[in-house]
Structure 1
Amino acid sequence: MSSTIDTIKQQISENPILLYMKGTPQFPQCGFSAQTVQAVMACGERFAFVNILENPEIRTELKTFANWPTFPQLWVNGELVGGADIVIEMYQNGELEPLIKEAAAANATEEGDS
């Protein structure tokens, strides 16, 4: 079981902007994932995603690891931002885009240094 947690930790550490969702950005499998993807995509930066429907062990373990019972889950710079309601609210009040842009810019700088 610990290997699933290791996988989750690795995904979160390697992807500055990571969305755990039902489905894919092109084909979200639930309304909350669809709304969250639209908000994140509107920020204009590339982001990674994990389709939890194709990864049932991640789906199960992430709830415990994150202490967050629902999906989608947006992680930025290793921190859980929240689920659909929080992400959409942050997008609407202008907090999400700077967070996403900053994470993307920091990652681009790191890649340039190495």
Structure 2
Amino acid sequence: MTDLKTETSERISEIVNKDDVVLFMKGTPLFPQCGFSSRAIAILDHCNVAFGSVDVLQDMEIRQGIKAYSDWPTIPQLYVKGEFVGGSDIMMEMFEDGELLQLMNEKQVAKAED
């Protein structure tokens, strides 16, 4: 019998590796439920990349599990090609410095469709 932590961690691992870019957030891209999630969506939109999202408010196991998975205490959390990038503040700093777009280009992530 697998324990809940292992099962949740495996689910998260599948999610972060499913899409090039994945954002764990509160709410959805169309209806973010907090300012930090809203800012993260705006940054990804500016980068013009395709991304998947997970509404942690809909799944308490994921909401708690993602914090342990990344060893990062807050949400939103951004993953690019399966690697944890950071939360809203780090995303903002990287975006302002041009590092986030550079990372997306280096990792050859899929562009958003018009």
TM-score, normalised relative to structure 1? 0.87
CA 43–107 in structure 1, closer or farther in 2 if over 3 Å, else same: closer
- Name the structure 2 match of 1:26: 30
CA 3–17 in structure 1, closer or farther in 2 if over 3 Å, else same: same
- Name the structure 2 match of 1:62: 66
CA 98–52 in structure 1, closer or farther in 2 if over 3 Å, else same: same
Question: Which of 87, 91, 98 pairs up with 2:95?
Answer: 91
Q: Tell me the distance in 2 between the aligned counterparts of 1:89 and 1:26.
A: 23
Contact 2:49 2:109 in 1 (8 A): no
Task: Structure 2: state its 5+ residue gaps.
Answer: none
Q: Tell me the distance in 2 between the aligned counterparts of 1:51 and 1:58.
A: 9
Superposed displacement of residue 10, structure 1 = 0.5
Q: What do the CA deviations read for 1:5-60 (whole angstroms, capped 9, x no partner)?
A: 11100011122200000001111000000011100111011100000001111001
Q: Tell me the distance in 1 between the aligned counterparts of 2:110 and 2:49.
A: 11
- SS of equivalent residue, structure 1 residue 40: helix
Q: Tell me the distance in 2 between the aligned counterparts of 1:100 and 1:28.
A: 22
For the aligned residues, what is the CA RMSD?
Answer: 1.5
Task: Structure 1: state its 5+ residue gaps.
Answer: 109-114
Count of residue pairs brought into register by the alignment: 107
Opposite residue 7 of structure 1, the aligned amino acid is R
Q: Tell me the distance in 2 between the aligned counterparts of 1:37 and 1:57.
A: 23
- SS of equivalent residue, structure 2 residue 50: coil
Query: What is the aligned-residue identity percentage?
Result: 41
Q: Tell me the distance in 2 between the aligned counterparts of 1:48 and 1:106.
A: 12
Matching of residues 1-114 of structure 1 within 5 Å = 1=4, 2-103=6-107, 105=108
Superposed displacement of residue 100, structure 1 = 2.1
Opposite residue 84 of structure 2, the aligned amino acid is L
